[in-house]
Amino acid sequence: MSRIWSFLTATRGSGRLHWTDWVSYGYLVLGILLMFGPVVWLVLSSFKTQNELDRFPPRFLPYAQETMELPGFDEALPLFTVTEGEYAGEVVAQTRRAAGRAEIVLPVDPETRIRLQATQLEPIERIAFATENYTDLFERFNFLRFLWNSTFITVTATLLMLLVNSMAAFALSKYEFRGRTGVLLIVIGTLMIPQTVVLVPLFLIVTQMGMFNSLWGVIIPGAATPTGVFLLRQYMITIPDEILDAARMDKASEWKIFWRIIVPLSAPAIAVLAILAIMWRWNDFLWPLIVLTQSENFTLQLALNSFQGELQTDWTSLLAMTVLTLLPIAAVFMFLQKYIATGIASTGGK
Amino acid sequence: MLAILTPIMRIIEIPMLALQRLLGINRLAWVFLLPNLVLFGLFAFLPVFLNVVYAMTGSDNVLLVDRPFVGARNFGTLMDCSSYLDPNTCREDKFWRAVWNTGWFVTLQVGIMVGFSLLTAIILNRDIRARGFFRSVFFFPVLLSPVVVALIWKWILQREGLLNAFLDWTGIGGINWLVDAQWAFTWSVFISVWAHMGFYTLILLAGLQAIPRDVYEAATMDRASPWRTFRKITLPLLSPTMLVVLVLALIKGVQTFDEVYAFTGGGPGTATTFIIQYIYEEGFAGAPRLFGLAAAASLLVALVLVLLTLVQLWLNRRNVDG
């Protein structure tokens, strides 16, 4: 115990904890609660049955009532303990309940119906995860379709973006040609045109190209990004020209140099961009909302948003769907946390 | 993955080699640039010009040939106000409500967020254990999708949710948070800060770590108090990073839409309707679709964003030089 204590109270510097250290750790613990707490609550709630969700005040863990199959009854009956009266302490199964009165049977004698006050009964519960909330999603909704749409958009858009942006970055970092400064200025210029301010004309162009209500209408307009070009160019500049010259001596074509030398050597930068692109695309909302109006084309984000309007009270499905939507991002985060942090810090977000 | 890509790249090599023979190596650069430039042209520059055309034409047709020229009438509609301070006196009262909402939202959100980010970054920059872990604790909501953020908090704030259960328990009593205009606005600011502060914390932490240690050692030698050290050393040396963070936060704040739209739908009433939602609803969600008005409003937003982006670029350049 004392070793744990000394581990916790030791500082990286020397000496014991100053009061400011206590304040800092207090702040950080509060931070954990505030940042992780809501997500933990979401995940726990997603495993609760409808009955349990309706309960107020809510309980921390998901519980379900014990049930028992008895001869003569089609469905499993919920189990209770009787708290007072003649049958106090007995475990009983409830067959009906109405207006504060409950009809119960003893498991040993399912034939005899006994009437009791509902207040005399205490439900027998155990911790149980209602996994049917998740399996129902696949039966009740077109969930796989939304998952496929989101995955298709994310994967295709990321690959396309990496290819197009790395080609441009290669040209801008490894070739001397007239107009290079002009092109760089154009790329910087596009920084000033976020999608949010050109929604109307973008909608016209996409519609005219026949991509309205098509996944391609979401994928193509965002395929070229100024941040992507800059990030990759910055990295490619550091690749020595001698390598390219050596390859040219060996009669390698320019495309082969790009594909066989530049792309593999830029792998760290490409990886960072790939992670960022996956995040943007998976979480993208406004533009898909405009382009994809038919529900069979919905991405997970759109489906989630439209269901929260339709299923005002059906939180069981909604919570499970929310958890499934954040799962891929959580997985990416766990494994690639470090790259994401450096990537975002170096590009300034989008 | 590579197994699929290699044959594709081989196929692309054939026309590329032909082009290389035809153009020479240096002019081949344009071929490499072409896809990117075409996409920029079609989906960034062309829309900017078309936006102006839309803003100057009327009717609910999306095709430009069907849209009659109306000059500055759309801007006139937006600007028709007896008093800009009171949206009720405006012809497009919803636009002005959205403008004012966005203004308040950005002021509060950016102020609170940058303040907390700075505090968090300073604490994370101290000699603490498990810094990497704590850094990711504050960072991870940045990765959540806006809709997920909205639903997480809606679930906590619903009438019979966790927060109301807690308030009931303390005896304060629950509040129907998202039905009350002011609470809905307050919580919109809160979830937006919650979702994005990790990003700015990360940038500020990098800024703090770039301050050389010996400056602090010198301050300790001179027996400067921690507060004085903070004011005279940390703040001035961090101010370039602070400015970048402020401008970035402003650029993103003005464009706030997703999480608040999924969270409150802009309501109750128009209490949390922001400018991008106004554009979305005029142009795409309502009937008739008022593309001209949406485009005119977009141009006004674009103006603000261009100014902010120019400041950002100027700051970046200054930081690199200095």
Distance from CA of B218 to the nearest CA of A (A): 17
Q: What is the pTM of this model?
A: 0.86
pLDDT digits 0-9 by tens, A117-144: 877 788 888 887 888 888 888 888 888 9
Same domain for A152 and A17: no
Question: CA-CA distances (angstroms) from residue A130 to A48, A60, A134, A307, A322?
Answer: 5, 14, 8, 20, 15
Distance from CA of A121 to the nearest CA of B (A): 24
Which residue type sits at B317? R
How high is the pLDDT of residue A341?
65
Query: Cβ contacts of residue A204 below 8 Å, gap of 6+?
Result: B50, B54, B62, B63, B64
Instruction: Sort out which chain B residues have CB atoms less than 8 A from A288's CB and list them.
Output: none
Residue of chain A nearest B204, judged by CA positions: A345
Instruction: Sort out which chain A residues have CB atoms less than 8 A from B28's CB and list them.
Output: 175, 254
Residue A349: pLDDT band (50, 70, 90) is: very low
pLDDT under 50: residue ranges of chain B: 322
DSSP A237: T
Paired tokens of B76? 């006139």
How high is the pLDDT of residue A2?
57
Residue A172 lies in a domain: yes
Q: Give the span between the Cα atoms of B25 and B205, in whole angstroms.
A: 44
Of the candidates A34, A207, A344, which has its C-beta nearest B202's C-beta?
A: A344
Answer whether residue A1 shows pLDDT above 60: no
Residue of chain A nearest B157, judged by CA positions: A38
Q: Give the span between the Cα atoms of B42 and A220, in whole angstroms.
A: 10
Helix then strand then coil, in percent of chain B rounded to 5, is 75, 0, 20
- Please give the residue that has the higher pLDDT: either A282 or B5: A282
Residue A51 lies in a domain: no
Instruction: Sort out which chain A residues have CB atoms less than 8 A from B44's CB and list them.
Output: 190, 193, 198, 224
Mean pLDDT over residues A186-195, rounded? 86
Which residue type sits at B284? F
Same domain for A258 and A202: yes
Mean pLDDT over residues A236-241, rounded? 92
Of the candidates A41, A290, A341, which has its C-beta nearest B156's C-beta?
A: A41
Same domain for A281 and A335: yes
A34 touching chain B per CB within 8 A: yes
Instruction: Sort out which chain A residues have CB atoms less than 8 A from B33's CB and list them.
Output: 167-168, 171-172, 183
pLDDT digits 0-9 by tens, A28-47: 999 999 999 999 999 999 99
Same domain for A77 and A34: no
A191 touching chain B per CB within 8 A: yes
Question: CA-CA distances (angstroms) from residue A83 to A92, A262, B54?
Answer: 11, 76, 74
Of the candidates A170, A198, A330, which has its C-beta nearest B51's C-beta?
A: A198
A349 touching chain B per CB within 8 A: yes
Which residue type sits at B154? K
pLDDT digits 0-9 by tens, A201-226: 999 999 999 999 999 999 999 899 99
- Please give the residue that has the higher pLDDT: either A185 or B190: B190
Same domain for A274 and A243: yes
Answer whether residue A340 shows pLDDT above 70: no
How high is the pLDDT of residue A152?
96
Nearest to B46 by CA among A200, A13, A122, A171: A200
Residue A37 lies in a domain: yes
Query: Cβ contacts of residue A85 below 8 Å, gap of 6+?
Result: A116, A120
- Most B CBs within 10 Å: which of A200, A211, A263, A302, as the mutation test of the B interface? A200
How high is the pLDDT of residue B149?
95
- Most B CBs within 10 Å: which of A48, A197, A232, A325, as the mutation test of the B interface? A197
Contact by Cβ (8 Å): A77, A94: yes
Residue A55 lies in a domain: no
A340 touching chain B per CB within 8 A: yes
How high is the pLDDT of residue A176?
87
Tell me the average pLDDT of chain A: 85
pLDDT digits 0-9 by tens, A78-102: 888 888 877 777 888 888 777 778 8
SS3 label, residue A55: coil
Same domain for A202 and A162: yes
Range of the domain at A163: 134-347
Q: Number of Cβ pairs closer than 8 Å across A and B?
A: 281
Instruction: Please report, for the domain that includes residue A252, its CATH number.
Output: 1.10.3720.10
Residue A289: pLDDT band (50, 70, 90) is: very high
Distance from CA of B202 to the nearest CA of A (A): 7
Answer whether residue A167 shows pLDDT above 80: yes
Same domain for A119 and A94: yes
How many structural domains are present in chain A?
Answer: 3
DSSP A58: P
Contact by Cβ (8 Å): A130, A64: yes
**Residue given tokens 């009956």 in the structure block:** A77
Residue A57 lies in a domain: no
A170 touching chain B per CB within 8 A: yes
Answer whether residue A22 shows pLDDT above 50: yes
A contact residues 252-281, partner B, Cβ 8 Å cutoff: 253-256, 258-259, 279
Same domain for A111 and A198: no
Distance from CA of B80 to the nearest CA of A (A): 22
Tell which of A127, A144, A165 closes a domain: A127
ipTM: 0.88
CA angle B131, B134, B135 (to 5 degrees): 80
B225: left (phi > 0), else alpha (psi -120 to 50), else beta?
A: beta
How high is the pLDDT of residue B181?
92
SS3 label, residue B69: strand
Instruction: Sort out which chain B residues have CB atoms less than 8 A from A190's CB and list them.
Output: 40, 44-45
When mean pLDDT is compared across A2-6, A320-324, B63-67, the lowest value belongs to A2-6
Same domain for A159 and A42: no
How high is the pLDDT of residue A33?
94
Which residue type sits at B145? S
pLDDT digits 0-9 by tens, A260-271: 999 999 988 898
Residue of chain B nearest A208, judged by CA positions: B63
Instruction: Sort out which chain B residues have CB atoms less than 8 A from A319's CB and list them.
Output: 151, 155
Domains of chain B (ranges, CATH numbers): 2-49 (no CATH), 73-321 (1.10.3720.10)
Residue of chain A nearest B316, judged by CA positions: A348
Tell which of A127, A144, A174 closes a domain: A127
Same domain for A161 and A35: no
Residue A6: pLDDT band (50, 70, 90) is: low
Residue A204 lies in a domain: yes
SS3 label, residue B81: strand
When mean pLDDT is compared across A161-165, A195-199, A340-344, B142-146, the lowest value belongs to A340-344
Residue A58 lies in a domain: no
Instruction: Sort out which chain A residues have CB atoms less than 8 A from B32's CB and list them.
Output: 167-168, 170-171, 175, 258
Answer whether residue A12 shows pLDDT above 70: no
Residue A56 lies in a domain: no
Which residue type sits at B30? W
Same domain for A328 and A258: yes
Q: Give the span between the Cα atoms of A84 and B77, in whole angstroms.
A: 74
How high is the pLDDT of residue A58?
84
Query: Cβ contacts of residue A90 below 8 Å, gap of 6+?
Result: A81, A82, A106
Answer whether residue A336 shows pLDDT above 80: no
Helix H or strand E segment including B301: helix B291-321
How high is the pLDDT of residue B140?
86
Instruction: Sort out which chain A residues have CB atoms less than 8 A from B35's CB and list them.
Output: 163-164, 167-168, 224
Same domain for A83 and A28: no
A99 touching chain B per CB within 8 A: no
Residue of chain B nearest A177, judged by CA positions: B26
How high is the pLDDT of residue A70?
79
